[in-house]
Amino acid sequence: MEKKPTNKKFLVILIVLVVLGATYGIYKYMHSLAHEETDDAQVEKNMNPILPRVTGYITKVFVKDNDFVKKGDTLFTIDDKDYVVRVEEAKAALAAAEGSFEAAKADTGGASANISVSEANVQSSKGNIEAAKVRLWRATNDFQRFENLYKNHSITKQQFEQAQAAKQEAEAQLKVLQQAENASNYQKNVIVSRSNVTGKQVDVAAANIKKAQAMLDAAKLNLTYTVVTASIDGQVATIDIQPGQLVQPGQALFYIINNQDAWVVANFKETQLNKMKVGQKVTIIADAYPDVKFEGVLASFSPATGSRFSLLPPDNATGNFVKTIQRLPVKISLTENNDKEKIKLLRPGMNVEVDVHVK
């Protein structure tokens, strides 16, 4: 039989394909030893919700969808008529509390004056009692001498009776002065008790001033909340509000996206985590901008797999168990070496491919 001629071109092409395939396989194997890759990754940015702090009807909206805003820019305003009235009411309550405090202070001043007068009366009574005691002592001594002389018949009965009457008069006068002192002390105690009550009234009035001042501060603060401003620099999204709409405290109306700060969350298979460590260099390529390479660094690992944060986490204790490879969210921070203008091009939720340099 005649031998078929060998097709040299086919042989050359086959050899070239085998060499190229082997080279590519070796390259991918060597690359896999130093890299871990995934395309299950998305861009993340801070999305600040706009939440009103007071109830009211929107009067004017100053922004539109996708507008760029600066920190402090007015986003919308709420009708402030009710809050202006509350401020005026709080001012009136504060004025009334201050008036009550001044009246209580005046009463305290009058009570202090009465205490001073009562104290002077008590001291005067004590002085009169001391003088009466001296007179009684002298009258008693005179009576004793006259009594001895009367027994010796050296004086008349009239002289003896005069000495006895002087002694009794001094005793009666001392008793009257002592009763007057007791009355002065009682009056002083009553005035002091009233003064203590008045002092407590002053303390209560001072506390009412503080309460009224706090209410006024709260009313003024709520009035400032009727003007809703941007808390950060960024871009607003989904402005779904209009004048006349009633808003409630804590109601999420729309979001401000912070375009300056971005990071990536990549979901790696659990079999890829063996060599990955915090601080390793990461190369990031966004699907939207395939010609731009972003530089990142592995920042942290999630404490649980993504399935554990789902609405219905899997329960492997059921009878029908199928083992599946789980994925763990990994946070990747963008470094300062990246162009800030290019970072602004990234939007939350964009798909990216990440390459972690494990060696």
CATH of the domain at 163: 1.10.287.620
Return the pLDDT at 118. 58
Which residue is it, tokens 């002390």?
185
Give domain status of residue 66, yes or no.
no
Give domain status of residue 110, yes or no.
yes
Percent with pLDDT over 70 in the chain? 72
Give domain status of residue 55, yes or no.
no
| Domains identified in the chain, total number | 2
Question: Tokens at residue 155, please?
Answer: 């004086």
Considering only the C-alpha atoms of the chain, give the largest distance between any 2 of them, rounded to a whole number of Å.
Answer: 196
CA dihedral 276, 278, 279, 284 (to 10 degrees): 60
Q: Flag whether the pTM goes above 0.85.
A: no
Give domain status of residue 54, yes or no.
no
pLDDT digits (tens, 9 = 90+) for 177-225: 667 666 666 666 665 555 554 556 667 778 888 888 999 999 999 999 9
Tell me, yes or no, whether 219 and 263 share the same domain: no
Q: Which domain holds residue 272?
A: 36-46+258-358
Tell me, yes or no, whether 216 and 262 share the same domain: no
End residue of a domain, out of 179, 208, 225: 225
pLDDT at 2 over 70: no
298: burial class by Cβ within 10 Å (0-12, 13-18, 19+)? buried
Nearest to 43 by CA among 339, 286, 356: 286
Amino acid of residue 209:
I
For 177, residues 6+ apart whose C-beta sits below 8 A from its C-beta are 125, 128, 129, 132
Give domain status of residue 51, yes or no.
no
Q: Tell which phi-psi region holds residue 249, choosing left (phi > 0), alpha (psi between -120 and 50) or beta.
A: beta
Q: What is the C-alpha to C-alpha distance for residues 174 and 180, in angstroms, rounded to an integer? A: 10
Tell me, yes or no, whether 295 and 171 share the same domain: no
Backbone dihedral angles phi then psi of residue 326, each to the nearest 5 degrees = -90, 160
Task: pLDDT band for 122, please (50, 70, 90 cuts).
Answer: low
Nearest to 301 by CA among 335, 326, 336: 326
pLDDT digits (tens, 9 = 90+) for 41-66: 999 999 999 999 999 999 999 999 99
pLDDT digits (tens, 9 = 90+) for 126-157: 666 666 676 767 767 766 776 666 677 666 66
Tell me, yes or no, whether 295 and 170 share the same domain: no
- Bridge-based pairing of strands 281-286 and 293-301 is antiparallel
Tell me, yes or no, whether 143 and 192 share the same domain: yes
Tell me, yes or no, whether 88 and 153 share the same domain: yes
pLDDT digits (tens, 9 = 90+) for 154-178: 666 676 667 677 777 767 776 766 6
Tell me, yes or no, whether 312 and 269 share the same domain: yes
Tell me, yes or no, whether 42 and 113 share the same domain: no
Q: Does residue 221 contact residue 86 with C-beta atoms inside 8 Å?
A: no
Q: What is the C-alpha to C-alpha distance for residues 75 and 60, in angstroms, rounded to an integer? A: 9
Give domain status of residue 250, yes or no.
no
pLDDT digits (tens, 9 = 90+) for 296-345: 999 999 999 888 888 777 777 666 777 888 999 999 999 988 888 888 88
Tell me, yes or no, whether 142 and 204 share the same domain: yes
Return the pLDDT at 215. 92
Give domain status of residue 159, yes or no.
yes
CATH no. for residue 299? 2.40.30.170
Give domain status of residue 69, yes or no.
no
Tell me, yes or no, whether 205 and 126 share the same domain: yes
Tell me, yes or no, whether 264 and 147 share the same domain: no
pLDDT at 70 over 60: yes
pLDDT at 258 over 50: yes
Nearest to 284 by CA among 331, 341, 235, 234: 331
In the three-class reduction of DSSP (H, G, I as helix; E, B as strand; rest coil), residue 266 is classed as strand
359: burial class by Cβ within 10 Å (0-12, 13-18, 19+)? exposed
Q: Does residue 74 contact residue 293 with C-beta atoms inside 8 Å?
A: no
For 354, residues 6+ apart whose C-beta sits below 8 A from its C-beta are 37, 38, 41, 264, 266, 282, 283, 284, 296, 332
Radius of gyration of the chain (CA): 50
Tell me, yes or no, whether 131 and 214 share the same domain: yes
Residue 312 vs residues 265, 307, 309, 315: alpha-carbon distances, Å: 21, 8, 8, 9
Q: What is the C-alpha to C-alpha distance for residues 63 and 186, in angstroms, rounded to an integer? A: 77
Residue with more model confidence, 234 or 323: 234
